[in-house]
Amino acid sequence: MDKQKTKHTINKDESVILINGLYMSFDDLEVLKGIDFNLFKGENVAILGRSGSGKSVLIKIIVGLLKPDRGEVIVLNQHIDKLGGKKLDALRLHIGFSFQNSALYDSMNVYQNLAFPLTMNIKHLRKNEIRSAVEEVAEAVGLKDKLKQMPSDLSGGQRKRIGIARTLIMKPEIMLYDEPTSGLDPITSAEIIELINEVQQEFNTSSIIITHDLTCAKNTGNRISILLDGKFLKIGSFNEVFDTNDEEVRGFFNYNFIQ
């Protein structure tokens, strides 16, 4: 995995997400308190944070589901808070979201689940073009032999893979992973971690990985950040972040590897 990340080209001269001075409150509850962040082209950044730390709010702002109180959010060179309607929908087509629960349609088989984003967003595609795209992403996640099965027939890890494949079929420039290893056994978690790195390598994506799993963060993130009480505590390589005596930072390490 680390070998893949080393070989992958990251363009530090180009940010696909740039956030400056981001604040967000709900009534009297301050959730984000001055966030500064950038995601370089071709980079994976893992964001660590406990429940309620503001991770989900940050992601919703990035995709335009929430408007911040103040601050600048630029996604693929567009100010997200200034977009609406068709322009916002068009931008979202370049952003893939891998949901924690995979969000597959239970009434559709795997093939239909994978084809759905194409039939909804790209009109007039021929059946053979759709089939080719479906087979390509199914092959990429190692489940080309499952296309006729229903989601209920798949394991948790397989559903995660199909959820990622369904996102990849739109060829997104940015991938957002929400707790990709949550609820999985260690072996399946390792397979999903490997898949995230393969997606970065083969599809040239830039990704944010939201996780509380330090093993996932360490093995997928070119940089790691800790979001605590509405602010980024530290951001850098794994060693840069955790080579410290800061009790708040060490708390994440101890929670994952000691308790």
What is the average per-residue pLDDT within 238-249? 84
Q: What's the CA gap between 211 and 178, in Å, rounded?
A: 7
Phi and psi of 193, rounded to 5°? Answer: -60, -45
Of residues 180, 224, 185, the one with CA closest to residue 199: 180
pTM: 0.88
| pLDDT for position 225 | 93
Domains and CATH numbers, the chain: 2-94+172-257 (3.40.50.300), 101-171 (no CATH)
pLDDT band at 8 (very low <50, low <70, confident <90, very high): low
pLDDT of residue 210: 92
pLDDT for residue 5: 44
Strand (E) or helix (H) holding 176 = strand 174-178
